[in-house]
Structures are given as C-alpha cells and as structure tokens.
A and B are shown apart, each in its own frame.
Chain A
Amino acid sequence: MSSAITDFGHHDAHGEPRGLLRWLTTTNHKDIGILYMLFGLTMFLLGGFFAELIRGQLIHPANHLLTPELYNQVITLHGLVMVFGALMPVTAGFANYLVPLMIGAPDMALPRLNNWGFWLLPPAAIVLVLPFVLKLIGIGNGPVDTGWTMYAPLSVQGGPGVDFAIFAIFLLGASSLMASINIVVTIFNLRAPGMTLMQMPLFVWSWLMTSFLLIAVFPALIAGSAMLLADRHFGTHFFSAAGGGDPVLWEHLFWFFGHPEVYILLFPTAGIMSHILPTFARKPVFGYRAQVYSYWAIAALSVVVWAHHMFTSGMPVAGQLYFMYSTMLISVPLGVLFFCWMGTIWQGALSFETPMLFALGYIVLFGIGGLTGLVLADAVADQQYHNSFFLVAHFHYALFGGPIMGVIAGVYYWLPKMTGRMYSERLGKWHFWLTMIGFNITFMSQFFLGVAGMPRRIPDYALQFAPLNMVSSLGAFLLGASQLLLVYNIARAAAGYGKPATNEVWDGAQGLEFTLPSPPPHHTFEEQPVVT
C-alpha cells in the first residue's frame, strides 16, 4: 500500500465551509481547476465582446461606432484579456483538474499555493478592465491603449491605463509562476508508483514543458514591466531615447517572453490532441517518444527566435538571417507533432463525436496558422506583411485555430467526466460547424486584406478594402454568436441535465481519470494506484 501525501488544508469531508466561503478557501485541485475554467470562460466571453466591437467598427469604412481612442483601447484589451485572461487560465484549469487524476495523485503538491494562484486572477482582471468601465461613466482617461504588445515609447507616454495594465501583469505573472511551480512539483513528486516520466500521459508532459517555459520567460516580462513603470514614474530611461535608453529594448524583453508565450498557449492543447485522437480513432497514440522530444525541441528553440517579431525594427542583415532560419527551424519539430497526430488517426476506425470534430478542426486550422507563420518568418516577405492584416490572420489561425479549438475539444471530451452528464451531441455538432464556418469567413478574408495592404490597429481603411471587411465582420458575428452554444452545453451539463456519463465516458478511452466515477468524488487516489 502506498500513498503520496500532500499539504491538505482540510482533509476530512466534515465541517468543510459551504457556499462562497468554500470556493474562496478551497485547496482541492478539482475545485480550483473548475474555478480556473469558469474564470477563463468568463474572460473568453468578455474578450469576445471586445472582438465584436472591433469588427463592428470595421464593418464598413468611415464608421463611427467607436472613437479612434476607444478603438485602440478595445483592441488592446481584447488581446490581453484573451491571452492572459481566457487561454492561460483555462489551460491551467485543465492542468489542475486533470494532472493529479492522470498521474494518480491525491491532489496538487502545494494546495494552499494553488488557492493563492487562482485568487490572484480575478483582481488582475479587475485591475486591467476597471479603467475601461470607469471611462464609460466618465472617470479617468481609459484603459491601456497601446496594443497588447505595449511598445515603448507609446507605453511610456500613455495615460494611467498603462499603470493598471502593468499592475495586472505583475499579478498574472505571480499567479502563473505559482501555478507552474506547483505543477512541476506535483509531476516530479506525486506520480503513482511505477509511473516513469516516459509513461506519463502526453497532456501531463505538455504541461510540464509549459511550466518550464513559464518559469523561464514570464520573469522577463515582469522585469520589462518593472522598467516600464520606473520609466513612467521614477525618472529612469530604460526605454526613452531622451535619456539614453532605447525603445527597441522593450521589444526584445517583450518578445523574449512573447514568442515562448505562444507555445505556452499551444502546448497544453497539443497534449489534449494526443488524448482525443486515439480515443476516436480507436488506436494507440502514434509516436509517443517523438512527441515528447518535439515538445523539448520546440521549447528549447522557442526562446532563441524572438526577434522574428522585429524584422522591421532595423536589424542588421546577419540578425535577420539568424532569426529567419532559427524560426523556420521550429517548424521541423512542429511538423513532427503534426505527423504524429495524423499517424494516430491514419487508418483508424474514426467516429466523429464533437471532441473529435474540434480536434480535426484544430489540425486543419492550426496547420494553416503554422504555414502562414513560415511566410512571415521570411525576413524579406515580412517587410510587407508585418503589421498588416495578414499577420492578424496568421495569429488567429495559430491561436484560435490551435489553442481555442483544442480547449473546446478538451471541454467536450472531459465535460462528461467533470459533470457526470453528456452534453447534447446535436448541439455540439452545430457548435462545431458554425464555429468552423464563422472562423474561416472571419479570418480567411483577412489574409487577402493583408496581402492587399490593409494595416492592423487602424479604425478606418481605404475604400478598396470595404467588401472583404464586410465579409469578415459578418463572419465574426456568426463566430461570436455560435459560442453561446458552448456556454449552453456547459451550463446544461453542469446543471445536471443530459444523459448520465459512464466511468469510461468514451468507449476505449485511456487514462487513470477514466477509471474513476463520473463525476469523480471530492477526494480521489488517496491510495495511489500502482502503474505497471
């Protein structure tokens, strides 16, 4: 008999606080995972609201839905809310809920830290968005409006909204670091006896790599933001040329964080793919080792390619060449991942339940995102495409087509496990097809706009861009509206409607989490299973 033991705040099921207090003080990994996911969903809706405002403004030229100032604020908040508020928390929620179940641990290794990590997020979101709300009722001069990349010198000169954003970044950084430290400790110390690293489910591997990356690069953003704050208020000149500083330094610091960040967002969903595809192809994972090594290769390369975001910043030719080739090199391990996913479904007995549909959509859309990334990685071509709508389309294929599709696939896959109820398969399929159609209408048109020369981050445009912008906006309204089906499906299952789910949920689903009842009891694996 063996059991790993964690720092439970309260071990016995009796006398646990109820209601709001329970959620505030909970140290249970499933509770915290659910909190993270609900928070992420809320932010996804908020970020989506901002997105619809953007497309509403751009639906036709010379539109006056938003003032130019407001437009800048909305695009900035959209980016920050989606990346830091929606995607990062929701994937962290999956980690909290699933990693202990997948490795047969009773909980996360540091449950109290876990509680802290989550509860830093709502204040961070409030701090970030508060100036927006205050401005609506006429107080202050609005939130951060620099674009989510917060480039200096604009961010040095900007109003107090920038300070709020910096403060939010500090909170988010602390939260992410706590979560990733906790995940690494859990994975290293609490695996079920007999489970070696190379036997861990790939989702666990993917989060191990995500945590490593977060620990390595988020501090650079914190350092950069601290310098920005000092430039703004304490008379330093890190980024202001007037005092001998250099605005390009900010770009280096930001992208040293920012490029690995895209893989921080991507990895967890790459892991999710390797759970969903085998289940619905009725075949084992193809190329487990190759996938693990790809994660390592991608993570290692991702910290040395950042300046491909800065090809137009006046880099010398040698720098351009280095960053061009190293960036293109990343597509090799990424391609290995792709072939492993395709190898997994190759000649499988496929069935197309909603999670599988979203997983297949992920392969297609993320594939387009990756391939257009290669176009941008060409230092010469990028002189034209940089900061055009081509770039916007690229990273939406990479970020919505990848992580968001992957998260939705994961939600449909594990929702029956978490709630004990099946979602409506019919509505799930509707959700998939409307999302797929809406997404491609919205963003495929932006590739063409970008090639034709439409710049990003401008609230108005030349007349020749009008037809495709109309198309893109209509697509965005469809895409946004169809996400309400996701909300409905989740709410319905959480409220206890729908067919009860079996323990296994899906025929032949692999993994320790599927040996537990659906939903799993509050405390699981207090006696750790032995893996052979």
Chain B
Amino acid sequence: MLLPSPWRADFPAIAALQRQDQTYLDNAATTQKPQALLDALTHYYANGAANVHRAQHLPGAHATQAFENTRHKVTQWLNAGECGQIVFTHGATSALNLLAYGLEHQFNPGDEIVISALEHHANLLPWQQLAQRKKLTLVVLPLDADGVIDLDAAARLITPRTRLLAVSQLSNVLGVWQPLPALLAMAKAHDALTVVDGAQGVVHGRHDVQVLGCDFYVFSSHKLYGPDGLGVLFGRHEALARLQHWQFGGEMVQDADYQHATFRPAPLGFEAGTPPIASVIALGATLNYLANLDQAAVEAHEAALHALLVEGLKQRQGIRLLGSPQLALVSFVVEGVHNADLAHLLTEQGIAVRAGHHCAMPLLKGFGLAGAIRVSLALYNDSEDLERFFVALDQALELLQ
C-alpha cells in the first residue's frame, strides 16, 4: 500500500535528511519544522528583535504584539476560551516543575499525589521530589495488559487523601490514549487538582481543555512541529490562583523594594526573565500552518501509517510489542537480540529511531526490560519511510539472529 504524505514538502528538513540518507522516525522525541516556522523566525530576526512587555518603542510594541498573538492562538488551539490562561515556559518539563514548586504550599504531610506507571520522568520526578520534600505519598496507578491505566485500581487508589492527579494523555512509550475523562472525574470527586501531561497527546488530534475539564494541561512546542526551548502551561483561573510564584526576576514583579516585592498574577507572573520571544512567535506560525490543514486527513494518514507499522512488525518473527499501541508510535523488542545492537545496525543504515528507556525507566523495568526500540511517526512520514525501516530491520536481524 502506497501512502504518500501530502504535507512532506512543507518540511524542508525532510528532503535535507533524505539527501543524507536519513529516514527520520524519531518524532516522539522531536519533530521537523514547517517552512512557515522558518519564515517567521527569519522575519522576526531580519526585521527587528526586541524585548517584550518592557519597552515603549515601536520594535518592542511589534514583538509584544506578535508574542501575545501566539498566546491567543494557543488559547484557541486548546479551546481554552475564557476559562483559563496560557503561561509560556521553557518546555513541558519546566511547566511540570513550575507546578510541583508552585503548588508545594498546598500539601500537608500524609497527603497523596497520584500518577501512573507510564509517566515520562518529566511527570514523575517533580512529583516524587515534592513528595520527598513534604513527606507526601506518591501513589502509582497500575496499567492493564494493553498499557492503559487500570480504572478499577484507580477507583480504589484515588481517595479523599488524593490532593493531586498528574497523568499523561498519551504515553511516549506505549502509544495508547489514556482514559482521562474517567480518571479526571474520580479526582474531581475528591476535590483533587488535575494535571494532564499533553506532551505527546497534543501532537495527535485536537484537544479541548474545557471538555477535558483538567486544571492544568502542559506540552512542549518542539514536539508539535514548533521551535524548541518553549513550553505551554494552560491553567484554569481558579487553579492558577492557587500557584505560588516560583522563579523570580524580570517583568513578573509588580512592585519591588530591597526587602520585599509583590508579583503579577498569571500569565506574566509566571514568566520570569526574558521569554523565548522568537520561539513564541514562531510557534504562532506553526499553529497557523497546522490550523489550515485538513485535520481529518492528517489523522487518517497517521492512522494508516501506524497500522502499516504495527502489521509489519507483527509479521516478523520474535518481535514483541510493548502494550497494544493505537497510534503515533510503537515500541518493541526482539527476542534474543539486544536493543543496543539493533539500534546500532539501524543507525548504520540511516534509520533514525530511538533505543533505550525513553525517559520512562520504571515503566521499562515493569516490562522486565532495560530498553526497547521506538519508531514514532509524524504527519510528513510516508510508506516509503516505513519500507526503508523494514528493509533495514530485516538486514539487521539477519546479521544478529
């Protein structure tokens, strides 16, 4: 089956990588960028950089306008409407750390924070360390055989002691949607705060934070075909009001004396220092580009590619998939073959996939594995990319098995 991507030519790096004989299938780590983003960056730097929210001069006004336009576009992208605010951070990781520090005063010893067994380190370690600082209990929701959070167990483990639930929407290892509506409802029934790690989820389909009803939703621009060094934290107004200021300096201050200071509310109060201005502006360009695509066609293309990938792997002897991946990516191991050896030989053949623990060591340990190979897809991939991957895989396995 031939599955060309009608959007491939919009991403100039794909052709450049192909000229270097590289097939890029590590999109869950980071993505290539559309021409629209490159144009926006060039335009900003070529026409006058300026700091935002500070200067009264014209370049400053232009930069601030473009910067705030992106905030508006992100609000629309998540359909946040009037229910909350968008705070820019330096990535999903820094957004989650902002939450773990900003909410610290909300917890008392013995309170419980609930996460799941599949969390990326970025949505595990900030909570684990908070639990250690404040003598809280970190409760870990188990998964079923398909890699989905077990709702029966969750119903038992989410209790009146639960003060916060932080779960991933889509695992970066297992590629399965998590049952967020049910989980969030359980947490809300006990008045717990809810945090959704949308780092992978936001890349596939459109999500509506008002429908989801979470207090916080975080993602990284660079995984959504945007520039790096930039993350997004959506917070509902009531939830943001519970955050204490975390990092200090710059325009986040309202009034400062030598001995004390007062701070602005969200969003600016949580954007200490000069933000990644060019990246914010360029994310706006990426969102414009994405908003103009036929979303149904993108999803159908990604689903068809994913089916091809899963089918191809299942046809081969000795390959074990982790969980039951539904979309976006597949992680697998091969019986009797060390994943480092397979990764080595795929690299030799110009196949860019990820090997290792994927920043989810406890999850991999739960599978009894030290590592796995992950193939992850983006809208610009096509069936020829997968063909090249399978040819390389067969050659590698022939040598190794």
Partners in one complex: no
- Partner-B contacts on A (CB < 8 A): none
